[in-house]
Chain A
Amino acid sequence: MSQKPRILYCHCAYARVVPEAAKKKVLEKLCEAGVSFDSVADLCEMSARRDPSLKRLAGEGEITVAACYPRAVRWLFSAAGAPLPKQGVKILNMRAEEPEQIVEIMLSDERENTAAEQKEAS
């Protein structure tokens, strides 16, 4: 398994606003790809709790997030005292974007990063 890029998947477990099919597809593809990633049950709930994991997730450099609207995701992190950096953050919206497109973006980032690491190592 490769360590980069960091990927965060939100399952939005406590509401039905993200289509089930989209969540399932994205999660399935991430699992199939065998990449390292973080998944959370519900970013909203974590934000309300000011879960310390949000600081870790926001503070480890570049990150691609599969969740909901970017404005909501950014301010959820911020409300938890863990603002996302302005640069190096991609937020993909499972409420509005096609899951295939989301998976493609996430995994192409992963492939590019792995290729760069291999080139560096050689």
Chain B
Amino acid sequence: MNSLDQPTLRVVLYEGSGSQLLDGRERFQILESLLQRGYSVSCAGEGVSPADGSTLLVLGRFPKEHAPTPEDFSGEVPVYVRNTSGLTASEIAEAADEVRNEVQQGEGKAWKPWFPVIDYDRCTNCMQCLSFCLFDVYGVSDDQKIQVQNHSNCKTDCPACSRVCPEVAILFPKYRSGPINGDEVSDEDLRREKMKVDISSLLGGDIYQTLRDRSARAQSRFSKERSEDRALKERKRCLKQLQALGEIPAEALEGLPSQEDIQSKAEQAADRLKGPSQGGE
């Protein structure tokens, strides 16, 4: 099971009635320990934010030794309670791990959350990112809108698609510098965009339009001139150019898909396009 598919566990550090208050230092140590292990933690007094579908783990110092019986009014959310009296921050985190292992049935695959985020205020749905990315990170929604569909396919530390976006609409929040990291887009950034390599031209045209053309011409001259092998070489060349600028990790180049993968992707894209094109697009 991929970590992205795991059920979520929400921790509540409870300091309301029936529990002892923590001092600031203790609270910080417990929180830091839990956050480092990937937990979401609500620090709560009397009121706890309503259930959101996540399994709840309530941690608190309950001096009468017996943790209270939690009430889930919906009856739909599993609730675990652990008395943390006498436990250190790391012991509390271990107790949380035990619950997580029970809930998630084993640890998910570790994954650095590196993936593109689309700024739809800027995106023009030009599909250049989809055309450029060979790892199937992007897809198209039912209403023909570009979207990120396969986050974990993205190559860690590779922001190549954001470099080819003509509208500076693709963010990688964990990237080191702006505007790719989400910083505001300046006039200077826009000026640079105008100087960008025309990736669409480099790749031989937008893949969607290409597929439409190919479908319309039915094995015309175009399909003979533009093989998938050539497209792969063009993309490699483009990625190497971007790598030379110091932005693209070697892993992204090494992990390029095979010709069969590319063929398969093109066929899938063509299938997706059949619907709207038949509708008179």
Taking Cβ atoms with an 8 Å cutoff, the residues of A that contact B are: 1-3, 11-15, 17, 24, 27-28, 30-49, 51-53, 55-56, 60, 68-73, 75-76, 78-79, 95-96
- Kindly provide the distance from the CB of B12 to the nearest chain A CB, expressed in whole angstroms: 10
Whether B54 and A70, one on each chain, are in contact in the complex, defined by CB atoms closer than 8 angstroms, is: no
The residue from B31, B52, B113, B183 contacting A52, defined by CB atoms under 8 A apart? B52
Determine if A28 and B24 form an interchain contact, defined as CB atoms under 8 angstroms apart: yes
- Given contacts A17-B176, A39-B31, whether A52 and B182 have CB atoms under 8 Å apart is no
**B183: which A residues are within 8 A, CB to CB?**
69, 71, 96
- Distance between Cα atoms of A72 and B53 in the complex (Å): 25
Give every chain B residue within 8 A of A43 (Cβ-Cβ): 173
Q: How far is the CA of A75 from the CA of B39 in the complex (A)?
A: 22
A49 to chain B: closest residue by CB: B4
Whether B36 pairs with A11 at a CB distance below 8 angstroms is: yes
- Please pick, from A13, A27, A78, A95, the residue contacting B38 in the complex, using a CB distance under 8 A: A13
**Least distance between B19 CB and chain A CB atoms (Å):** 12
Q: Report yes or no: B182 in contact with A68, Cβ–Cβ below 8 A.
A: yes
Complex alpha-carbon distance, A11 and B4, angstroms: 19
A53 close to B54 (CB less than 8 A): yes
A33 to B38, CA, bound (A): 23
Q: How far is the CA of A115 from the CA of B38 in the complex (A)?
A: 34
Chain A residue at minimum C-beta to C-beta distance from B152: A48
A-contacting residues, B105-162, CB 8 Å: 111-115, 117-120, 148, 151-152
| B182 adjacent to A71 (CB under 8 Å) | yes
Residue B80, interface by CB 8 Å: no
Known: A48-B151, A69-B183. A31 touches B40 (CB 8 A): no
> Which residues does B use to contact A, with CB under 8 Å?
3-4, 6, 8, 10, 15-16, 21, 24-25, 27-28, 31-32, 35-47, 49-50, 52-54, 111-115, 117-120, 148, 151-152, 171, 173-176, 178, 181-184
- B35 near A13 with CB under 8 A, answer yes
Q: What is the CA–CA distance of A117 and B184 in the complex, to the nearest angstrom?
A: 36
- Chain A residue numbers with a CB within 8 Å of B40 are 38-41, 46, 51, 53
Q: B residues within 8 A CB of A34?
A: 21, 24, 27
Specify the chain A residue showing the minimal Cβ separation from B11: A39
**Cα-based distance from A40 to B151 in the complex (angstroms):** 19
Q: For A33, what are the chain B residues with a Cβ–Cβ distance below 8 Å?
A: 24
* In the complex, chain B residues whose CB is within 8 Å of the CB of A76: 117, 173
How many angstroms between the C-alpha atoms of A51 and B52 in the bound complex? Answer: 9
Which of chain A's residues has its CB closest to B51's CB?
A: A56
Distance in Å: Cβ of B135 to nearest Cβ of chain A:
15
Nearest chain B CB to A21's CB is how many angstroms away? 13
B63 to chain A, nearest CB (A): 18
Answer whether A51 and B8 are a contact pair too, CB < 8 Å, given A28-B28, A39-B41, A44-B173. Answer: yes
Q: A17-B176, A53-B40 are in contact. Are A36 and B45 (CB under 8 A)?
A: yes
A78 touches B173 (CB 8 A): no
Q: List 5 additional A-B contacts (Cβ < 8 Å) besides A3-B45, A39-B35, A73-B173.
A: A37-B43, A39-B40, A53-B54, A56-B49, A96-B183
Q: Are B24 and A31 in contact (CB under 8 A)?
A: yes
Specify which of B15, B25, B45, B119 is in contact with A71 (CB 8 Å cutoff): B119
